[in-house]
Structure 1
């Protein structure tokens, strides 16, 4: 099979496609003949040597894929060879074949083609598990997602809007913020020109938002807490802005707020299976109805993986970057 191998930790240039031995499913697993995968921010971190895969996971980069079932392991009854699927992976997606626990495999939503489906599993699982299963966002609550034009942001805006929340987002250009508004963002904030805390307070009469999904980490910690409403919930899923920060605990206490840090990749297989089952039951119907859709900036062949990583690092994309295998 073909797979992208990083020859060392470093820039995009360390990535190249090689022939490697085929992988075969064990008990409770399936093998997928990969049609497409997608680039995620975590892939860049892994390439740089900062985000190793969990124990037992493939060293090949790639957290999601779409394709057809190529083989099923012992005890797998819900999938058959030839089924078209998408899957949430702990690794291995940048390849022509991948093995994954059967519970992390999902049908392709109605109305979504097989290539585009590769852009769904990671963002859908991240947004659904953190914003709704962990933070418990409710209809009519205020929700802020940073970086609304990215893969996570475009999905979060649509899903929160479809389920009745008032959506706030940040972005760096007028064009990206206009696109976020077209997806359902009620309040858009240019972080280059505005203090997002002041913008949130102005739009809420000083009350703040109920849930914040944050990929910045340390850089935004104190300001995120200041932007929370009473009993607000801050969910941190990334560290693009650093790993260490000071926090005025008195502000958090006055708000009776919660700061939650989560990681999807390192969760146990049964937890990931529960998230995937919830997606199929509660989110896939919204995708099928067209209320939520995967936003794909563009597709590139797997052999152009270096250019795909360069595009992701530039920040000039909107939505997901898909690699076809």
Structure 2
């Protein structure tokens, strides 16, 4: 089969062996795959897959089940989307059946490919780890990103006001259309977010460059979840503030979590989140679609930090 792999710093279509569908897995004929920042890092050699995971790119996909391993209740022909540790940017992928969900009602397969990774990430970090409660205030850095756009909609759906930091006025308007109360432009400094503080929960993919200001803006008993290091890995903090506010600083990654943990997360999404697509409270943000033969252009587009929502690669036609 054909698949997309990082070669010499570039996403490259290669020929490779077709995966074997093991017990408890399903085989998916991939129609589309979501592109995430982790894919950019993997191509650059900065984020290798966990041990035992395929080095084919792609942490989420959507398609049609063509084979069902023993122990699975899925049926051949089911239209699904899946959370992956790798392997989604290929003609076929075999995945733990627990990591697969039906395409949300009203979504196309192209749209569904933009859903699993970002909604699982937002749900895990904001609602499970940070234990967001209705009415609590949330700050989302990189609010117009895939994870940010998912988190904004979830916060609105569960009655928690949120604010964002973004890179442009156009992206701030995009976030407000999704449900954000307001925010600031990164180039003007995130200090302006102090006007909306204190925040009960901060979701931060930036890291070091925002760390000191995050601590100042957190409420007493605030929860700060760090999910990325776009702004560096080393920071100096006033730990007296951390103690005085009883702040919880939580480091979080998803890709390396075990299969059972991911399966439980997907079950929670099926119960709590998927019905919100049917009601219209949530919308997939598949803003830009590229043919996977144009993967290099798609990767460059995501790297530009100008994308609202998600970039999707179309692998095949349904």
Bin of the TM-score, shorter chain as denominator length:
over 0.9
Q: Deviations over 1:125-158 (max 9, x none)?
A: 0000110011011111000001111111111111
Distance in 2 of aligned mates of 1:175 and 1:312 = 16
Distance in 1 of aligned mates of 2:33 and 2:268 = 22
Distance in 2 of aligned mates of 1:192 and 1:7 = 34
Determine the structure 2 residue equivalent to 1:165.
160
- How big is the shift at 1:7? 2.1
Determine the structure 2 residue equivalent to 1:196.
190
Determine the structure 2 residue equivalent to 1:145.
140
Partner secondary structure for residue 300 of structure 1: strand
- How big is the shift at 1:222? 1.6
- Equivalent residues in 2 for 1:1-325, closer than 5 Å: 1-8=1-8, 10=9, 14-76=10-72, 78-193=73-188, 195-197=189-191, 199-204=192-197, 208-325=198-315
User: CA contact under 8 A between 2:56 and 2:89: conserved in structure 1?
Assistant: yes
Distance in 1 of aligned mates of 2:105 and 2:85 = 25
Q: Deviations over 1:265-313 (max 9, x none)?
A: 0000000000000001000111111111111221111111100000011
Q: Deviations over 1:49-90 (max 9, x none)?
A: 1111111111101000000111112222x2111110000000
Distance in 2 of aligned mates of 1:100 and 1:217 = 32
Distance in 1 of aligned mates of 2:212 and 2:66 = 48
TM-score by length of 2: 0.97
User: CA contact under 8 A between 1:200 and 1:209: conserved in structure 2?
Assistant: no
TM-score by length of 1: 0.95
User: CA contact under 8 A between 2:183 and 2:193: conserved in structure 1?
Assistant: no
Distance in 2 of aligned mates of 1:175 and 1:184 = 15
Larger deviation: 183-192 or 113-122? 183-192
User: CA contact under 8 A between 2:223 and 2:250: conserved in structure 1?
Assistant: yes
Partner secondary structure for residue 113 of structure 2: helix
- How big is the shift at 1:201? 3.0
User: CA contact under 8 A between 2:6 and 2:42: conserved in structure 1?
Assistant: no
**Segments of 4+ moved more than 4 angstroms:** none
User: CA contact under 8 A between 1:69 and 1:82: conserved in structure 2?
Assistant: yes
Distance in 1 of aligned mates of 2:196 and 2:211 = 20
Distance in 2 of aligned mates of 1:290 and 1:157 = 14
- How big is the shift at 1:16? 1.6
Larger deviation: 116-125 or 222-231? 222-231
- How big is the shift at 1:19? 2.1
Which consecutive residues of structure 2, in runs of 5 or more, have no partner in the other structure?
none
Distance in 1 of aligned mates of 2:196 and 2:55 = 45
